[in-house]
Homo-oligomer: A and B are copies of this chain.
Amino acid sequence: MTKNDGRLPNPVIRRLPKYYVRVRELRDGGREWISSHGLAEDLGLTSSTVRQDLSHLDLAGVSKRGYETRLLEAALGHVLGADAVHRLVIVGAGYLGCALALHGGLRAQGFDTCGIFDADREVVGTKVGSLSVRPMGALNGVVRKKKVEVGMIAVPAASAQEVADKLVEAGVRGLLNLAYCHVHVPDHVEVVDARIIASLQQLAYVISAKVGADGT
């Protein structure tokens, strides 16, 4: 699905986690109020953008004081689904897939890893933290039985489309694609790309373009 049917604009959605993380830091530091100017400064935005973004939330600011951090954290967490559990599976038990399975941050944010899968017979059965790597044939059953919503693609680019097809067929509703390629899915499934190499290339471009532009 390409169009936004009634949901928040994409640029806003991408900024919400930034607000969320920052507000939690502020709360941890004992801060009770934060203004749009304060958040803007912290995150490199304008205060206008912050107010526009937060106006989409179920929350009211207070003149002269700003937003109450406790309420803001709750409102952001609610929109981002941090107050619900999201079940996911990881396909690919290479270095990256295992690192994700062992990453404590996922669980802390409400993402519950229900399984890790690999096509390689040699790898199937090995332990990754508390999980055992399962064969691809088991994917369908696990996704259906545990009502898994999200599949993470952590395989080489060459097998990514095949894995995406299997995840879609099993019934996940969203894919996080870590492979360095584009995957096609039907309209009812969402894909978010999180490709480290593409991000590095983007960084390499802006670094080199800067040299050319200002002569340093």
Contacts and interface: CB of A to CB of B under 8 A. Distances in A.
Interface of A: 1-2, 5-8, 13-14, 16-18, 20-22, 25, 42-44, 79-82, 84, 86, 88, 94-96, 98-100, 102-103, 105-106, 109, 111, 149-150, 156-157, 173-176, 178, 180-182, 184, 188, 190, 192-210, 212-214, 216
B214 A79 contact: no
Contacts of A88: 200
Contacts of A174: 203-204, 206-207
A180 to B, nearest CB: 6
B192 A202 contact: yes
Contact of A213 (B2, B6, B84, B103): B6
A86 B173 CA distance: 37
Which among A2, A8, A109, A204 has the greatest number of chain B C-beta atoms within 10 A?
A204
B200 A176 contact: yes
Nearest to A204: B81
A180 B105 contact: yes
A18 B198 contact: yes
A216 B171 CA distance: 14
B96 A201 contact: no
B96 A182 contact: no
Contacts of A190: 203, 206-207, 210
Nearest to A110: B204
A215 to B, nearest CB: 11
Contacts of A188: 210, 216
Contacts of A8: 205, 209
